[in-house]
Each structure stands twice: as C-alpha cells, then as structure tokens.
Amino acid sequence: MGDLELLLPGEAAVLVRGLRSFPLREIGSGGWNQQHENLEKLNMQAILDATASQGEPIQELLVTHGKIPTLVEELIAVEMWKQKVFPVLCRLEDFKPQNTFPIYMVVHHEASIINLLETVFFHKEVCESAEDAVLDLIDYCHRKLTLLVAQSSRGGPPEEEECQSSTPMQELQKQAELMEFEIASKALSVLRYITDCVDSLSLSTLNRMLSTHDLPCLLVELLEHNPWSRREGGKLQQFEGGRWQTVAPSEQQKLSKLDGQVWIALYNLLLSHEARARYCFTSFAKGQLLKLQAFLTDTLVDQLPNLAGLQGFLAHLALTETQPPKKDLVLEQIPEIWERLERENRGKWQAIAKYQLRHVFSPSEQDLRLQARRWAETYRLDVLEAIAPERPRCAYCSAEASKRCSRCQNEWYCCRECQVKHWEKHGKACVLAAQGDRAK
C-alpha cells in the first residue's frame, strides 16, 4: 500500500470477508451502518492504493473472496430503497426528523458503492469476477444513463445553492438530487470498463448491452446532450468532482473525462468484432451512429488517436446498406437482483417505512453522539485530504478555502464572513460532531 494507510492488509481482509447483503427492512440499522463505515474505509483505501500505484490489494481481496456480486446487490438494494421506501417515508405523518444525518448516510451509500466499483472495475479480472451480477450492473448503469439524458433535457442537475428558509429534509432532497447526477457519472465509468472486456463477455451480456438496451445509441444521445457541460454567464462550466466548475478558455478544447469515457465505450462496442457481429444496424441505429461524424474533429482525434479507427468505421457504415446480422437462437440469462428484491418486498413498502421510522430514523441524542464519533473515526482528515482531487472549497460560496471550522474541523471557508453566514445551516452538525469528538 501507499505511504498513507487507512487499513492494514489484515484489517482490509477482515472487512472484505464480512461484506454481506442486507434486506431492505434492515437498511439504516446498526449492522448496516457498520458495513457502510467499512465500505467507506475500503473505498478510501482503494483510492489511496490506486493513487500510489503500488498494487491494489482491495481489488484483489474483493475478487479473491467473491464479493463483487455482493456489492452489486447492495448497490441495487439501496437504489430500490431510494425509489420505493424513501418517498413513502417522507409522506408519513409522524416523519419529522430532528437530524437528517442517519438518512443522509443511506442516501450516500449508493454513491459510496458505485465509487468503489469505479475504482476497482478498471481491472478486467473484477469484471470477470462479477459473474452473473454483471447483467444486473449493466441494467443499473443503463437506468442511470437514461435518467441522465432525460435530466439534461430539463436543464441539468440542480444548483448547489444556499437557501436559509429550507428545512433539513428539503436540504437533504436537494443533496440527493445533486448526488444522483454524480452517481450517474460514476455509472458511466463503470459501464465503460465493462466494455473494455467486450470480447470476453457472455452472449447474454452482449445481447443485453446491444439489443435490449441499444447502448451505442444511448451513448450517442449522451454526446448530443452533453449533460455535464453548460454555459453560465457566458462561461463554459463542466460538472466534475460533484459540482460545476468554470473551464478556462485555454482548456475548452480539452476532452473532459466523461466525454472520454463515452468515446472509449463507443469504440469498444463498435470496433469489437464480436460486438459488431451481434449488433443490429437498423436504419435508425445507422442514422444515430452517423451523427458521431460531426463530433470527430481533428482536435478530438489528436487527444484520442484510437478514434481514427472509429472514423474509418463510420465512413464505411455511411456507404453500407442496413442488413441486420443473422439472429441466432440464444438461451439468454436475465438479471435477477432487481426483480427478486421487488418480488420479496412488493406490497411492503409502507410497512418497511413505518418500521424504519420507529427503529432506525428516530435515534436518541446519545445514539447520534455515538454515531458522530464513529463517523469522525471513519472520515480521517489526513486521508480525506490525500484523496481530495483539489483544494477544499468554501461551504458557503464555493471559492477556494484555506480556513477550517475550528470547532468540528469538518467544514472549510474562504473568510470569516462566509462562516458566519453559513452558521445557521452548519451549527447543529458542528455541535454534534464536536460532541462526538469529546466523547472519544
């Protein structure tokens, strides 16, 4: 591992071996929270390992102990909870949480898992170790990217703005919406890494990607809508690192990471012999794919030279009649995690919400202090600073920050004035975190 270690090798192995799937009813429970903390530690250590380029034991442990399918199931379970249980919970008459941290941890859990998967799926053996769960993961990525295209037609993700009159739940819902956009960008990266393995994927997996979901056409739509770029006040902004950032004029021709992931995925799907033989080049698909020619500029090809091969393929496609390949009879596997979870919990959404309201999301002050202490131990500041992609930003105005809240050490500010303005929102969390530190 790198010079900065969050977990010793033996500790990491214990945490990986202990990973398991939880029923939807237990999401947010004590055991579930412990696993969430363990996943956060594994996630941060995996990023440290990848950054240090000194071997990646977290990825190796997940493969060795067969835990990739478990992570995929947990990912889909929390996605289902957010869609089926969370809205019911918010509508309950008795649901008036004094503190939204426990719910935020559940909402954030999906982002934690997809971030870990993005880090480890860079390695092809991880995709192979996913086994049948790769079908469920492809469906998950397709759902996220479809929502991303739909959201881009409505103007992109919500603004990360302050509103002094917002209730804690309204703030949580805004954060969840913004987080959903970032989750979709991680899902795009995971999907691209799966396409790196296209020549070794099963026929069922290829059929799911190319026929059921028609991923090449979906990826073209992403390039057309370009949901992670916008113009604000005449300046180009890109969505990176969980927020919109202004792009300097000298950097505007530079290929963004997310655009690069789309192009590489298209290259993998369209230039692989196995995938091309399975893809049905209908007149609609041909029309969609030929739109790519307008985007393939010399500047782009200079940055991704492999795209010259894609240029040649599209030139050939333009002259070719649409002749769908022969359709073989295939005994196809289908994803089962989402359907199984929905079948097991159908008609129980309200009962789950009421149970969690009583037993999970109504913690005592003592429980909150204990949880705050555990969070402080999990999110070590030295590790967070090591994995941060850039300098911290002011919690109020988003400018570069150099001052940290002296009481809780969690929030950053550019000046005293911003800290004072932000206190109304930050105060309760600050007191709770400080109490947690004193309880150590």
pLDDT of residue 5: 61
CA distance linking residue 62 with residue 66, whole number of Å: 6
Mean pLDDT of 290-299: 94
Query: Confidence class of residue 166 from pLDDT cuts 50, 70 and 90?
Result: low
Backbone CA torsion sign across 167, 171, 174, 180: negative
Q: What percent of the chain has pLDDT over 90?
A: 45
Interior CA angle at 222 toward 217 and 224, to 5°?
Answer: 95
Interaxial angle between packed helices 257-271 and 215-225, expressed in degrees from 0 to 180 and rounded to the nearest 10: 150
CA distance linking residue 94 with residue 358, whole number of Å: 10
Which range of 241-245, 295-299, 406-410 scores highest in mean pLDDT? It is 295-299
pLDDT of residue 378: 65
pLDDT of residue 345: 96
pLDDT of residue 155: 58
**Torsions phi, psi for 137 (to 5 deg):** -70, -40
Higher pLDDT, 359 or 169: 359
The SS3 of residue 202 is coil
Interacting residues of 49 by C-beta distance below 8 A, sequence separation 6+: 1, 2, 55, 56, 57, 58, 59
Query: Confidence class of residue 326 from pLDDT cuts 50, 70 and 90?
Result: low
Interacting residues of 333 by C-beta distance below 8 A, sequence separation 6+: 132, 135, 202, 204
Query: Confidence class of residue 433 from pLDDT cuts 50, 70 and 90?
Result: low
CA distance linking residue 207 with residue 185, whole number of Å: 23
CA distance linking residue 254 with residue 151, whole number of Å: 24
pLDDT at position 68 over 80: yes
pLDDT at position 396 over 90: no
Instruction: Give the residue carrying structure tokens 């333009």.
Output: 318
| Contact of 283 with 322, CB cutoff 8 Å | yes
Query: Confidence class of residue 408 from pLDDT cuts 50, 70 and 90?
Result: confident
CA dihedral 35, 36, 38, 42 (to 10 degrees): 130
Query: Confidence class of residue 342 from pLDDT cuts 50, 70 and 90?
Result: very high
User: 290 burial class (0-12, 13-18, 19+ CB within 10 angstroms)?
Assistant: middle
pLDDT at position 385 over 80: no
Overall pTM > 0.85: no
Query: Confidence class of residue 330 from pLDDT cuts 50, 70 and 90?
Result: low
| Contact of 51 with 128, CB cutoff 8 Å | no
Neighbours of 425 (CB within 10 A): 18
Average pLDDT, the chain: 84
Considering only CA atoms, which of 209, 202, 212, 204 is closest in space to residue 333?
204
Considering only CA atoms, which of 298, 116, 291 is closest in space to residue 189?
116
Which range of 172-181, 184-193, 396-405 scores highest in mean pLDDT? It is 184-193
pLDDT at position 218 over 90: yes
pLDDT at position 88 over 90: yes
pLDDT of residue 2: 42
The number of helices, as runs of H, and strands, as runs of E, in the chain is 21, 5
**Torsions phi, psi for 102 (to 5 deg):** -60, -35
Query: Confidence class of residue 64 from pLDDT cuts 50, 70 and 90?
Result: very high
Mean pLDDT of 281-298: 93
pLDDT at position 212 over 50: yes
pLDDT at position 49 over 50: yes
pLDDT at position 373 over 80: no
pLDDT at position 216 over 70: yes
Higher pLDDT, 60 or 243: 60
Which range of 108-117, 166-175, 237-246 scores highest in mean pLDDT? It is 108-117
DSSP secondary structure, 372-383, as one string: HHHHHHHS-HHH
pLDDT at position 74 over 70: yes
pLDDT of residue 159: 55
Q: What does the domain layout of the chain look like in residue ranges?
A: 11-387, 393-439
